[in-house]
Amino acid sequence: MIRTGWTRPKSGKKEPKGSLAFGVIDQKGSLFRDFGHSENRLVRYIGLCAYKSMTIKSCYEVAKKKLLTEPGICEPNRALFTRFFEYLEYKLKRLNRLAELDEASYKTLSYYIYRLRTVNRWFENKPWVDLTKEDIKEVYDGVEDGKIRTKSGKIYRGTEAYFRRVMRGKPFDLAGKRELARSVMEFYQPRSQGDVRFIREPTFRQIIGVVRKPEHKLLLWLAWDIGENGHSLLQLRKRDFSRQVNRETGQAEYVINLQPEILKRSRTPRAEVTNYAETVELLDFLLGQMTDDQLLFSFGHRMAAKALDRAVRLTAATCIPGGQKVTLKDLRSSMACDLLSKGWTTDEVNYRLGHKPSSREIDKYVSWLALDQRRPKKRMFDSNLNDIQNELEESKRREKLTADRLRRQQEEMDLLKEQLAGISEMVKKTTNYTVGVSKVHENIKQRLALKEVSEIS
């Protein structure tokens, strides 16, 4: 039996007042898993919740209670956080037309626990209602200039979540400081999130070639084939897969139902069909002995990242064009680039990525029936067929050239044979003539000898 919550990290280092780390605690109260002060680790933790059959709701409730009762956080800020979570919970219910909050909503709420705690640490637990322009400017400049850093001493990269959603968002609005923060951050520009980084299909196949375990291979193939992020794929169960034969191509494929509870709030719940035979083969192999409710993967994000890191290290694979290290997230963008290069339209690729396609009215039908997936799938099949036909035509052309060359060589050989036969005949005639001349000469000699003998007599 385990529970979750915010706990003091056992790093041996002196922590600032009110500093906690998110972790999993066993029944005796000792730290079972420390997720530290990282929002990415919180994401991995949410994946672990699914693996351990714990609901994100229960994890959020425990973490929120810990935040709102933490003695290290001043009373005015705790009261402000309470008001903010009441506001955000209501907003998510009404915005998404929910009678009760779903798992995706609790996932969104969980992110704010970390963000509020981090910004509170930046301001050294000073009541937000008492913040001055100088206080906000000092923190803003400190984060942007790299003077305020993470617990591990690294520069904050994802500052937009703090600046836009907290300091320029509702939390500071409840404190009456949003306009003040906006005036201080007049020249703030979010760091670019549009860096291009992807890999080509041959590079991906090199990576797959050195992965040892079938379940690790399947996860990478799904990430490349479907284009969903690793955290969502790790929460798939056998019931989410349906095998069929594509009427357009005649090939076996799987329809994968991506349910809303495993997706990011911004992603569209949808059904996707597989494009690659390798994905189908691995699914056939691994799904055979599973029950419908069983998780497809028995490992978490950290083990998946380790398996990919090992393969990337062995193949020395890097992203295009910047040469960055290949991660699970890069397989999503790589799939998009690969499909675009094979003739898919931007709307079709957007739909496969879970973004809104251009058609709005029939989204829910197209999503669950996967109607629009047959046409691009067939186009991909036709593209591969065209490649094969081109190779066949090239092979035929080479065979024709070879046949022409052999025919010319045969004609040259026949001509040489005729010339050789003529020469042989001439040599034969010459030889016969020579023999005849020799016989005549011998006959003359014999006659001359007989004449000499007769004259002597």
93 occurs within a structural domain: yes
**Other residues' Cβ atoms within 10 Å of the Cβ of residue 245:** 9
- Domain end residue (candidates: 369, 393, 426): 369
Three-state secondary structure along 313-379? HHHCCECECCCCECCHHHHHHHHHHHHHHCCCCHHHHHHHHCCCCCCCCCHHHHHHHCHHHHHHHHH
**pLDDT value of position 372:** 52
Kindly state whether residues 210 and 271 are assigned to the same domain: yes
Q: Count CA atoms closer than 13 A to 58's CA, side-chain side.
A: 10
Kindly state whether residues 71 and 122 are assigned to the same domain: yes
Give every residue of the chain whose pLDDT is below 70, as ranges. Answer: 1-54, 191-195, 357-382, 457
346 occurs within a structural domain: yes
- Domain end residue (candidates: 316, 336, 369): 369
**pLDDT value of position 260:** 83
Kindly state whether residues 137 and 17 are assigned to the same domain: yes
Kindly state whether residues 26 and 112 are assigned to the same domain: yes
CATH number at residue 223: 1.10.443.10
Closest CA to 170 of 115, 103, 130, 98: 115
**pLDDT value of position 28:** 37
**pLDDT value of position 307:** 94
429 occurs within a structural domain: no
**pLDDT value of position 364:** 37
Kindly state whether residues 235 and 168 are assigned to the same domain: no
| Residue-range definition of the domain harbouring residue 207 | 201-369
Query: What is the total count of domains within the chain?
Result: 2
Kindly state whether residues 148 and 261 are assigned to the same domain: no
State how far the Cα of 251 lies from the Cα of 378, in Å rounded to an integer: 10
- Domain end residue (candidates: 344, 369, 394): 369
Kindly state whether residues 99 and 140 are assigned to the same domain: yes
59 occurs within a structural domain: yes
